Amino acid sequence: MFGYLRPMQGELKVRELERFKACYCGLCHALGKKYGFAARFVLSYELVFLSMLLWGEDETPQIKRRRCIASPCLRKRYCTSTIALDSCAGYNVILFWWKLRDTIADEPYVKSIPHRFLSLVMSGAYKRAARELPAFDEKVREELRGLDEFESTKESSLDASADKFARILSATVPNSMPEEKRRPLLEILYHIGRWIYIIDACDDYCDDVKSGGFNPVAAEFPPETENLPGEAAAWLRTTLTHSNNLIGAAFELLPENAWTQTVGNVIYNGMPEVCERICDGTWKQWKKGIN
C-alpha cells in the first residue's frame, strides 16, 4: 500500500538506518502477533513513519533479535511492541482493508477476483482491528464514502478530494494527547494525507489514462497524451512542496523523540525526492533501485 514515505537511506547514519529497519520489522511483528500471519503482507512505509511520529518522547526503542519468515536463518533486529506500534498495526489493517474494498468496487468483476480473494483472507484481521479501533474504522469508512461520492460529481476538485483523504490520517492522533503536541501532529498528518492522495494520483496517472479509470489529477488536468502534462507537473510540484513545507514547519514544534532524526529525513529529504521522481516519470525505476 503506497510506499511513498521512506527515508533517504544514504543520508542516515549507520545507527539510524539500522534502527529504522528495526522499527520496520517491529511493525511487521506487531501485525503478525495481533492480526495473524497474512496481515504482515500489508505492511507499509506510511505506517512505519506514523509509528515513529507517534512514539512517546520518553520512550526508548527496545531492540531484540529473532528469526522470521523473511529471514529464517539469520536473526534480524526488531523493535519490541509499544503502544505506537500496536496502534499503527491496527491502522495499517483498517486502511488496507478499505483501500481493498474501494478497488473491488471500482474494477470489473473478473479483474477484481484476486482482490476479492485477498479480502476473504484479510477479513478476520480487519474485524479484529475494527473492534479495537472502532472510531478510526468509522472515520475511514465515512471519509472514503464521502470521497467516492465527491469524485463521482463533475464539480469535484483535486484540492477538495485531497481534503477528504487528509482527514483520515488526522484521525490517528489521540484526543487524550496534550494540546501542545496534538495540534502540530494534526497539521502534519492532515498535510501528509493530502500529499499522499495527490502523489498517488500522479503515480497512477498513466495507468488510469490507459485503462480509462478515474484519476483526480486527470480530472483536473485532462490528458493530452498518456503522460502527465507539463502544466500539471509544474502545478503539482508547487502544491506538494507547499504541503511539504507546512509539514516541516509543524514538525519543528514537536518535542523530540527517539526517531526525530529519521522522521526529519523523511520530511526534508525523502518526500521531496519522491515528489520529483513521480513528476518527472522516473519513480518506478528509481524505487526498484533502492529496494
DSSP 59: P
* Cβ-based neighbour number of residue 241 at 10 Å: 15
DSSP 11: G
Q: Could you tell me which of 25, 32, 45, 13 has the C-alpha nearest to residue 266?
A: 45
CA dihedral 37, 38, 40, 43 (to 10 degrees): -170
The reported pLDDT for the residue numbered 74 is 84
The mean per-residue pLDDT over the stretch 154-164 comes to 79
Angle at 157 between CA 151 and CA 159, to 5 degrees: 110
- Judge whether residue 151 has pLDDT over 90: no
The rounded distance, in Å, linking the Cα atoms of 49 and 263 is 7
The reported pLDDT for the residue numbered 227 is 75
The reported pLDDT for the residue numbered 155 is 58
Residue range 186-219, pLDDT digits in tens = 999 999 999 999 999 999 888 888 888 788 888 8
Residue pair 251/190 in contact (Cβ under 8 Å)? The answer is: no
Residue pair 93/42 in contact (Cβ under 8 Å)? The answer is: yes
Q: Could you tell me which of 163, 223, 154, 189 has the C-alpha nearest to residue 51?
A: 189
Give one word for 108, left, alpha or beta, with left for phi > 0 and alpha for psi -120 to 50. beta
Residue range 75-131, pLDDT digits in tens = 899 999 999 999 999 999 999 999 899 888 878 888 889 999 999 999 999 999 999
- Judge whether residue 247 has pLDDT over 90: yes
> Residue 163 carries which side chain, given as an amino acid letter?
D
The rounded distance, in Å, linking the Cα atoms of 167 and 82 is 25
The mean predicted confidence, pLDDT, of the chain is: 90
The rounded distance, in Å, linking the Cα atoms of 168 and 141 is 9
The reported pLDDT for the residue numbered 291 is 58
The reported pLDDT for the residue numbered 222 is 82
The residue whose grid cell reads 473492534 is 131
Grid cell in block for residue 112: 477484481
Grid cell in block for residue 49: 513513519
Residue range 62-74, pLDDT digits in tens = 999 988 877 778 8
Superfamily of domain 9-290: Farnesyl Diphosphate Synthase (1.10.600.10)
Farthest-apart Cα atoms in the chain, separation: 56
The reported pLDDT for the residue numbered 265 is 97
Domain parsing of the chain, residue ranges: 9-290
